[in-house]
A and B are shown apart, each in its own frame.
Chain A
Amino acid sequence: MQKQLAKMKQSLFDQGYLDEQFIQLEDLQDDANPNFVEEVVTLYYRDSVRLVQNIEQALEKNPLDFSKLEGYMHQFKGSSSSFGAKKVKTECTQFREYCRAGNAEGCKRTFQELKKEYATLKKKLEVYFQLARQAGPVEKACRPK
């Protein structure tokens, strides 16, 4: 079970879904707080629903308020990077660049990508956490690569 979990984690890292920050969070887990990372991720997906909706609405306006969009994306990027959501973070960065360039099409296109990455990560982490719960307490020495 542990091996399976480790393999899955390695895969998430190799494919670029997660970065070092995820490990930082896992290192904060202990007997008293064994599911800290899962709690953070759950909180993230719950809290960002509103933000995604706001961005979607803002993208429907004409002309786009790039400043507002950049502000939203700053938040999104911040919380995504706080738990190591690498691909989501990358899309956020791209989005902000398009905002700065005033590129509406770029923004809309990137946001579609962002939502895809956001949803994919959610599914993968759901599996990961389920596996983690089944596997029991994970040794902290389980660092990928």
Chain B
Amino acid sequence: MSGGVTTEMKFHVLAVDDSIIDRKLIERLLKTSSYQVTVVESGVKALEYLGLLDDEKSNTKSDTNSTTWNQNEIQVNMIITDYCMPGITGYDLLRKIKESTVLKDIPVVIMSSENVPSRINSCLEHGAEDFFLKPVQQSDVNKLRPHLMREKEKGKENQFNSINKRKPIEECLSPDRTRIRFNNDLVA
């Protein structure tokens, strides 16, 4: 540890669910695990938030809300989404994220109340990190951390507001893979 306090990096999780009850539950579960949480009610809203829907619109949006959905400022470390949703399903959302050059490395977890092996396999095959059966419990949310830590170790640290770097980045990062916010001090 390079002397002093290690900053507790708060992972930011985007949760997507059309059920108001399940949104409340997943939000509480994630907050209990000290994640920063954004909850949206549909796949469309999720795509909008992630900037995959309409780039021009989201960049010129000037909200008086405290949350400015400016693509450049949003850092999402994980997406957890319900499978069965009207409109864009969780599966559709998964596909879109994995097809995006910018977002494809964000771990995506699918939730579903139905235990359908073919559905589960399909999601995993298309890049979902994990699949939770509803109702979601604390033990499920506890499984998320390794996925997040792994992404972090892969050298995604520049996605965070990195004030305290714990160690120098050893691997060479290809510039277009990561959203580089600091053009300097990637090395301790």
Contacts and interface: CB of A to CB of B under 8 A. Distances in A.
A82 to B, nearest CB: 5
B138 to A, nearest CB: 6
A139 interface: no
B161 interface: no
B24 interface: yes
Nearest to B20: A47
Interface residues of B, number: 15
A74 B18 CA distance: 12
Contact of A24 (B21, B84, B135): B135
Contact of A82 (B22, B84, B138): B22
Nearest to A78: B113
Nearest to B18: A75
Interface string A32-47: 0100100110011001
Contact of A28 (B29, B134, B135): B29
Given A28-B29, A74-B113, A81 B134 contact: yes
Contacts of A10: none
Interface of A: 21, 24-25, 27-28, 30, 33, 36, 39-40, 43-44, 47, 74-75, 77-79, 81-84
Given A24-B135, A75-B19, 18 more contacts: A21-B137, A28-B28, A28-B32, A28-B138, A36-B28, A39-B24, A40-B25, A74-B113, A78-B19, A78-B113, A78-B134, A79-B19, A82-B19, A82-B25, A82-B135, A83-B21, A83-B25, A83-B135
Interface of B: 19-22, 24-25, 28-29, 32, 84, 113, 134-135, 137-138
25 contacts: A24-B135, A24-B137, A24-B138, A27-B138, A28-B28, A28-B29, A28-B32, A40-B21, A40-B24, A40-B25, A43-B21, A47-B20, A47-B21, A75-B19, A77-B113, A78-B19, A78-B113, A79-B19, A79-B20, A79-B22, A81-B135, A82-B19, A82-B25, A82-B135, A84-B135
